[in-house]
Amino acid sequence: MLFCRNPRWGTAQYALAIVHRCSSSCGRRIWPKILLEKGMKFSTNLTFHSLMKLLKAFELMKKQEETRQAEVAARAAEFKAMQAQAETERQRVIYDEQKKLTQHQAQTKSQMARYEDELARKRMQAENEYQ
């Protein structure tokens, strides 16, 4: 029998090659059960191999998609971390500005108290000199 697995041949061509081989060796055309089984086996093998390639392609695509989703999740986590860092920095700046404002207000209040105290002393001096 002819065991030719030319990928360009379809099942029918493979079966014809087997028949040709059988008829040349036997001298008569045979369509035995073996021939049909060989054709079916070849067809099944083609289908099986095609399915295996397809499954491998799907597995590869699935892994690629999982990798892409993991990268997207990593970028999202990185973005959230950057947002949290920016928010922390913003809160620190707000705190620093409030602290400066509070210090400035305290300094202004202190200066006003000294100025009012000085005015009160001058007023008392003026009243003492006037009497």
Q: Indicate the average pLDDT of the chain.
A: 79
Please, which residues have CB within 8 angstroms of residue 22's CB and are 6 or more apart in sequence?
1, 29, 30, 32, 35
Model confidence pLDDT, tens digit, residues 54-87: 778 888 998 999 999 999 999 999 999 999 999 9
Q: Are 19 and 1 in contact (CB under 8 A)?
A: no
pLDDT for position 14: 56
pLDDT for position 42: 65
pLDDT for position 2: 44
Q: Are 22 and 35 in contact (CB under 8 A)?
A: yes
| CA distance linking residue 31 with residue 28, whole number of Å | 10
The sign of the CA dihedral 44, 49, 52, 54 is negative
The rounded percent of the chain whose pLDDT value lies above 90 is: 47
Q: Look at residue 112 and tell me whether its pLDDT is greater than 80.
A: yes
